[in-house]
Amino acid sequence: MTNENIIHRCTSRAPLRVSAVSLFSGCGGSDLALEQCGFRVRWANDISPLACATYRDNFENSAIKEGDIRDFRRFPNAQLLVGCYPCQGYSQGGKRTSNVPINYLYREFDRALRWIYPRAFIVENVSGMTHRENEHLLRNQLRRFRLAGYHVVWKVLDAKDYGVPQTRRRIFLVGIRSDLGLTYIFPEPSHGPDRLKPHVTQRDAIGRLPLWPEGKYCNEPLHWYYLSRNRRHDWDEPAPCIVGHWRNVPLHPVSPSLRKVDRDWWMFSSKSPARRLSYEECARLQGFPASWRWKRGRLRDRFQLIGNAVPPPLFKAVLKAMPPIWN
């Protein structure tokens, strides 16, 4: 399927009459959901040249601008503003600290919010933002957005409950302009036990892909840190969270199961071959279509682009729950 077919399929269900601005857009996970829901992305931005190049590979007539958001002083008008500012300081993986400059990029989102003054906004970030050491940063964001004139609500959602074949907890902040007199209500889970649909599994998402796609996964040794936790889920389960570091992505279910030996120590149950997920498998488990183009950068760069992206089906579920405020 060609790129043109992708765009037509994404946008044919609704007229592109509702404008949006996308900040910290990455390779386009949130913006794919916007296109699928009938929004027109007037302007997008990311600091990564590889992310912008991948974005352009997959969006016809893309409006993404490469550069540091702090260098842009003006923004176009739009009815919706979305942003997924970087989350390294909030992340639950690796070293964490709340007092680093990257944690304050929400101020740039707030600056754009006040300039554009859209009818609504959506922010996505890691659930670590809710942890005690980061509570003051979350409160600061809520305070700023409310002072900007928005009724803001937030909630942690798990992607697997909305049709994404992985366990991935993320916080969403949604604001509706106060003068509209409406409150956003988060969507109920659509997948899982006692829901209309079961969780989407790894078998559903990647079961037909080659089992040993040489050159598409990290084949470095599985060191002690990697085996400090259970990074393997079975075929008929959603995958563990897809991360941006190619060495730390989950094990493919073709690998032997892991058994816990001690705290932070897991071992394989047999000597059968084991491997990490490929970048194409990670993309499918994030909810990207099979036709999405990943041709930029080194192998490790593609893992980073994919792991840092917003799962399109999850963002789409949040978008579809927006009340009718666009007229």
Q: Is 218 a catalytic residue?
A: no
The H or E element that residue 143 is part of is helix 135-147
What residue numbers bound the domain in which 145 lies? Answer: 3-193+311-320
Q: What percent of the chain has pLDDT over 70?
A: 90
Assigned domain for 11 exists: yes
- Name the residue among 155, 147, 227 with its Cα closest to residue 185: 155
**Catalytic pick from 10, 37, 84, 87?**
87
| Average confidence (pLDDT) over 209-232 | 96
What are the pLDDT digits (tens) for 270-302?
A: 999 999 999 999 999 999 999 999 999 999 999
| Average confidence (pLDDT) over 239-268 | 97
What are the pLDDT digits (tens) for 47-82?
A: 999 999 999 999 998 999 999 999 999 999 999 999
| Average confidence (pLDDT) over 219-240 | 96
Assigned domain for 7 exists: yes
Task: Report the C-alpha gap between 98 and 230 in whole angstroms.
Answer: 27
**What's the CATH code of the domain at 41?**
3.40.50.150
| Mean pLDDT taken over the chain | 91
- Biggest CA–CA distance in the chain, Å, is 63
**Three-state helix/strand/coil letters over 19-48:** EEEEECCCCCHHHHHHHHCCEEEEEEEECC
Going from the C-alpha of 32 to that of each of 11, 27, 40, 232, 273, the distances in angstroms are: 10, 9, 10, 29, 36
Residue 223 DSSP SS3 = coil
CA angle at 84 for the pair 4 and 291, rounded to the nearest 5°: 25
Residue 88 in this model has a pLDDT that exceeds 80: no
Confidence of residue 97 (pLDDT cuts 50, 70, 90): low
Assigned domain for 272 exists: no
Assigned domain for 259 exists: no
User: For residue 181, how many other CB atoms are within 10 A of its CB?
Assistant: 9
Read off the pTM.
0.91
Residue 83 in this model has a pLDDT that exceeds 70: yes
CA angle at 240 for the pair 209 and 205, rounded to the nearest 5°: 25
Residue 34 in this model has a pLDDT that exceeds 80: yes
Assigned domain for 243 exists: no
Angle between helix 49-58 and helix 299-307 axes, rounded to 10 deg: 80
Assigned domain for 172 exists: yes
CA angle at 96 for the pair 92 and 99, rounded to the nearest 5°: 135
| Average confidence (pLDDT) over 170-193 | 97
Residue 95 in this model has a pLDDT that exceeds 90: no
| Beta-strand runs (E) in the chain | 18-23, 39-46, 64-66, 80-83, 120-126, 150-158, 169-177, 258-262, 265-268
Total of domains in the chain: 1
DSSP-assigned letters across all residues of 267-319? EESSSS---BPPHHHHHHHHT--TT----SS-HHHHHHHHHTSPPHHHHHHHH
Q: Which residues of 250-269 are buried (b: 16+ CB within 10 A; e: fewer)?
A: bbbbebebbeeeeeeebebe
Confidence of residue 98 (pLDDT cuts 50, 70, 90): low
Residue 66 DSSP SS3 = strand
157 forms beta bridges with 170
Compute the CA torsion angle 211, 212, 213, 219 (nearest 10 deg).
130
Residue 14 in this model has a pLDDT that exceeds 80: no
Assigned domain for 46 exists: yes
Looking at residue 1, its pLDDT comes to: 35
Per the model's pLDDT, the better-predicted residue between 238 and 88 turns out to be 238
Assigned domain for 99 exists: yes
Where is average pLDDT lowest: 75-89, 90-104, 204-218?
A: 90-104
